[in-house]
Structure 1
Amino acid sequence: MTGLIKQKQYDWKDSNLEFFGSKEERDVKKSAASTEKAWQTAGVKPGIQIWRIVNFKVTKWAEEDYGKFFDGDSYIVLNTYTKEDSDALLYDVHFWIGKYSTQDEYATAAYKTVELDTYLDDVPVQHREVQGHESTLFKSYFKTITYLHGGAESGFRRVLPEKYTPRLFHFHGDKRGVMVKEIPRMEKYIDDTDVYILDIGLQIYQYNGQGANKDERVRALQYVNSLRSERSGKAVKTTVLDQVAGGTGVFFRYLDQTDNEDFDTEEVTDQSEEEQEGPQLYRLSDADGSLKFSLEKTGPVGIRDFDGNDVFIFDTKQELFVWVGKQTTHEERRNAMTYAHNYLMKSSHPLIPVSCLNEGSENKSFSMALTA
C-alpha cells in the first residue's frame, strides 16, 4: 500500500446547502431517483443499508464493513424500520461526513440523500452527521464505530497482511458505547486509561492500560477477532499485553518516534458561554412578505412553542432540529436548511448533528429534547 496523502481538512464554513430540500431540486430528483441503481433495493425491508460516495457516484458499502468509516470519505446510511402497531415502513436517512471528506463529496452526499428521500416518497427523516459528533440515533446502529484514516481506496482487506502498513487503534468508552479511532503510531498518544490495538498484518497486539475498563477490553478483543477473520485465512498471531503484568516493551518497539503529519490530532474541548445558555428556538417566517429569522425563545422548549405556519430551528447545543410546519410556505420550506446551516456556521458548535423533521413526524430524539 502506498503512503497516504494528507487531505485538506474540510472547511465547513465554505459549504453551501442552498439546494438541500428545495422544490426545484426535488422536482429534478424525482425523475433522477428512479434511474439511480443504488436505490432500487433501498428501504424494501427493515435494516441498515450503507453507501459510499465514489467519484460523485453512490456505491454499495460491504455489510461486513458496516460501522467502519474512512475519515476521507462521505457515506449515506439508511435505517428502515416499522413501529409495533403498524407494518408501514419508516426511514431515517443520514449523510455522514468524514473529517477530510472533500467539499464535492459532502455536497454529493447531501444531494443524494435528498434524492433518496424523494425516492421513498418523502417519508424519511433526514440527518447530517459529522465525524466525531454523531447523534445518539446514528451511534445506536452499530456495536462500534471505527474511524480509519485515509479513503476507502487505501484498502484494509485487499492488502496482503505481510505487506500491511501498521495501524494503531484507540478504544475509549464505557457500557454506553466504545469508540474506535485510528491514531498516529506514537507513544505520546498512549495513556494508562484506555485500550489500544496495534495491527501490523500477521501480528496483532492488544495493549490494555492499567485504568482501562471492562467494556474497552472486551470490545477490543472482539475487534481483534474481526481483524483475524478479515485476513482471508492467513495465520495471524494475536498477543494481549497488560500494563499491570508488564512485558509491554514489544508493543512500543513498533511505534514511531516522529509525528505523522498525515494526521490531525487537534481536538476542540472548550465549552463556550453560548453553549452554557441552554436550548434556543428560532423562527423562520415570511408572514410579513419577506423571510425573517429571529430568536423565539431561550431556555426550556415545549411542543406548544412551535407553530405549524412556520419553520423552527431548535438548537439544543448537542443537536439541531429543523422543524417544518404543515402550513409553511414554499419559500420558508425551501430555505429552511440554508438558514439552519448558516446559523450553525456562525455558532461555536457548527458540527453537531442536524435533523430535518416535518410536523407530525417528529422522532424520539426530538421528543426527548423537549423539556417544557
Structure 2
Amino acid sequence: MAHLTKPTQYKIEDSNIALLGSDLEKRVREHAGDTEPAWESAGKAVGTQVWRIEQFHVKAWKQPGEFFDGDSYIVLHTYKKDPNAEALSYDLHFWLGENTSQDEAGTAAYKTVELDDHLGGTPVEYREVQDYESPRFLSYFPKFMVLHGGTASGFRHVTEAPPLNLFNFYHISASKPASTGVNKPANLIVRQVTNGYQKAIKRYPNDVFVLDKGREIWQWNSKKSSGKEKFKAAEFVRTIIDARKHEPVLKVFDEGGSGANRFLSELTEDHAHPSNADASGTESEADTPLVTPATSAPSSPVLYRLSDASGQVEFTQVVDLQGAGPTPTLADFDSADAYVLDDSTDPDVPAVYAWIGKSSSVVERKNAVQYAQNYLWGLNGGAQGGGKKRSSTSIVRLTQGNESSRFLKVVGARA
C-alpha cells in the first residue's frame, strides 16, 4: 500500500505569503498553465462569484456563502460604482481556512493575482483569514457559514441526514450593517466551533449557540443576546429541521433559566475535534480571537514607503507628511513608489493597505504585499509576541486610480 502523507497545513503567520522564490511558488507555477478556463466567465456581470482551490486547480463553487476550514477560496465581487454607468468595478478576495494546506493557500494567492491581471489590474485585492473576515467580504453573503472539513478530508453539509453520534456546535451572530459601508440588513454568520465550547460561550456573551445532536437540536440564548441574534439562530435551525423532514426536536435554553446547566454539561472536550486541539486537551492558539490590536500597533494610520530608487529595496516610514495633521493624506503618496498604510487599529474595519503607484517598478509592485505581511508579522514581536493574531489583519492591495472608498476615507480624500 502506498504511504499516504497529510498535506502541510498553512500557517497564517508565515511571512512568505507572496511565495517569493519558494519551492511552493515553483509548484504553483508548474500547475498553473498558460490560461485559466475558470476566468472566462469572471467579472462579466454584476454579482459575486466563488471558486475553491482543489489540487492546484480552480473550481467553481456551487455553495456561495458556505466555506470549509480546510480549504482556500477566491471570491470576486463585481459591481458598478455608478448604477447608470456601463463600467464595472471589482473587489477580489482570497479566503484562507485555518486548516488549509500550504499548496491550497499558495495557489489561491497566486491565482488571485492572475485573475487581477486578467481583469486589467483594476480590482482591489483583499486577503481574508478565517474568523477575521472584513465587513465588506461578509456583506456579500446573506448567510455566511464556516464549517469543519474540506476537499482533502471530506465533509458533510449541515442539512444532510445525521449519524447517531452527531455533535456539531455552532456560534451564531449577525453582521453589523453600519460597518459594511452598504445599506443592507444584518446577515447571518455561522461558525462551527470544534473545541473550547464553554470558553466560546463566555467569550461571546452577546451571541447565540446551537448544538446539533442529530435527532435533537439545542439552542442556547445568552442573557445579552438580542432579538436579532435569536432570530438569525432560529433561521439557521429551521433550515436544518426542514431539510431533515422535520424529524429533529428543537429545545431552547436561556442562560440562567431552567435547564441551562444541562446544556452546559453537554459541552465537554470529549467531543473536541482532534485536528483543532493540542495533545493536552487545552485550547489551541487558533481558538483565541483577535479582540484588541497589539499594544505596539500605532493609534492612528502610519505610512511606509517601499522604494528601490537607490538601487536597493528600502522600506521606511514617511515622517514628513504633507497635511497639517498626523494622518497621511493622498498627497503623501508618490506614483513612482509603492506604499504600506497601517490602519489596523480602526475599530470597524482594521486593515493594512498596499498601495501601488502607476510608475512603480516591477520589484516594488511584486513586493508590496510581502512587505505588508512582514510588517504585520513583526509588529507584535513575530513568533515571540503573538504574531499569529496580528498577521490575521486584512491586507488590501490597490493600485493608483483604483482605490477603494474605504482607503480614500482613511487618507481624507473623496471617493
| Alignment correspondent of 2:182 | none
- Maintained 8 Å contact 2:138/2:175: no
Task: Report the Cα distance in structure 2 between the residues aligned to 1:134 and 1:244, rounded to whole angstroms.
Answer: 32
| Alignment correspondent of 1:55 | 55
| Alignment correspondent of 2:296 | 274
| Alignment correspondent of 1:286 | 308
| Alignment correspondent of 1:206 | 219
Task: Report the Cα distance in structure 2 between the residues aligned to 1:325 and 1:111, rounded to whole angstroms.
Answer: 21
CA shift, 1:180, in A, is 2.8
Task: Report the Cα distance in structure 1 between the residues aligned to 2:7 and 2:367, rounded to whole angstroms.
Answer: 35
| Alignment correspondent of 1:70 | 68
| Alignment correspondent of 1:246 | 258
CA shift, 1:6, in A, is 12
Q: 1:15 to 1:292 in 2, by over 3 A?
A: closer
- After TM superposition, the score normalised by the length of structure 1 is 0.84
1:342 aligns with 2:374: yes
| Alignment correspondent of 1:363 | 404
CA shift, 1:56, in A, is 1.4
Q: Secondary structure at the match of 2:398?
A: strand
Task: Report the Cα distance in structure 2 between the residues aligned to 1:293 and 1:188, rounded to whole angstroms.
Answer: 41
1:304 aligns with 2:350: no
Task: Report the Cα distance in structure 2 between the residues aligned to 1:360 and 1:161, rounded to whole angstroms.
Answer: 51
Task: Report the Cα distance in structure 1 between the residues aligned to 2:52 and 2:76, rounded to whole angstroms.
Answer: 12
Q: 1:200 to 1:59 in 2, by over 3 A?
A: farther
Which of 303, 324, 327 aligns to 2:356? It is 324
Task: Report the Cα distance in structure 2 between the residues aligned to 1:229 and 1:110, rounded to whole angstroms.
Answer: 38
CA shift, 1:300, in A, is 0.8
Task: Report the Cα distance in structure 2 between the residues aligned to 1:308 and 1:47, rounded to whole angstroms.
Answer: 31
After superposition, what is the alpha-carbon deviation per residue over 1:109-168, rounded to whole angstroms, capped at 9, x for unaligned? 001111222222323221111112222211221234322223252222585324463201
Task: Report the Cα distance in structure 2 between the residues aligned to 1:125 and 1:189, rounded to whole angstroms.
Answer: 34
Q: 1:130 to 1:221 in 2, by over 3 A?
A: same
Unaligned runs of 5+ in 2: 1-5, 178-185, 277-283, 345-349, 381-389
Worse overlay, 187-196 or 121-130: 187-196
Task: Report the Cα distance in structure 2 between the residues aligned to 1:311 and 1:54, rounded to whole angstroms.
Answer: 33
- After TM superposition, the score normalised by the length of structure 2 is 0.76
Q: 1:150 to 1:305 in 2, by over 3 A?
A: same
| Alignment correspondent of 1:190 | 201
RMSD: 3.1
Worse overlay, 191-200 or 109-118: 191-200
- Maintained 8 Å contact 1:137/1:365: no
Unaligned runs of 5+ in 1: none
| Alignment correspondent of 2:172 | 171
Q: 1:356 to 1:276 in 2, by over 3 A?
A: closer
Worse overlay, 349-358 or 153-162: 153-162
After superposition, what is the alpha-carbon deviation per residue over 1:304-361, rounded to whole angstroms, capped at 9, x for unaligned? 1111111111111120111111121222223222222222221232221111111111
- Maintained 8 Å contact 2:330/2:412: no
1:17 aligns with 2:18: yes
- Maintained 8 Å contact 1:39/1:116: yes
Q: 1:323 to 1:216 in 2, by over 3 A?
A: same
Q: 1:43 to 1:131 in 2, by over 3 A?
A: same
Q: Which amino acid aligns with 1:315?
A: D
Q: Which amino acid aligns with 2:342?
A: D
- Maintained 8 Å contact 1:33/1:119: no
Which of 76, 81, 84 aligns to 1:83? It is 81
CA shift, 1:193, in A, is 4.0
- Maintained 8 Å contact 2:16/2:370: no
After superposition, what is the alpha-carbon deviation per residue over 1:40-60, rounded to whole angstroms, capped at 9, x for unaligned? 222221111111112211122
Task: Report the Cα distance in structure 2 between the residues aligned to 1:91 and 1:257, rounded to whole angstroms.
Answer: 43
Q: Secondary structure at the match of 1:154?
A: coil
- Maintained 8 Å contact 1:33/1:116: no
Task: Report the Cα distance in structure 2 between the residues aligned to 1:60 and 1:212, rounded to whole angstroms.
Answer: 36
Q: Which amino acid aligns with 1:139?
A: L
Identity %: 34
Task: Report the Cα distance in structure 2 between the residues aligned to 1:230 and 1:33, rounded to whole angstroms.
Answer: 43
Worse overlay, 323-332 or 75-84: 323-332
After superposition, what is the alpha-carbon deviation per residue over 1:18-46, rounded to whole angstroms, capped at 9, x for unaligned? 559xxx99xx89x9464x23222222211
How many residues align structurally?
Answer: 358
Task: Report the Cα distance in structure 2 between the residues aligned to 1:150 and 1:296, rounded to whole angstroms.
Answer: 44
- Maintained 8 Å contact 2:297/2:379: no
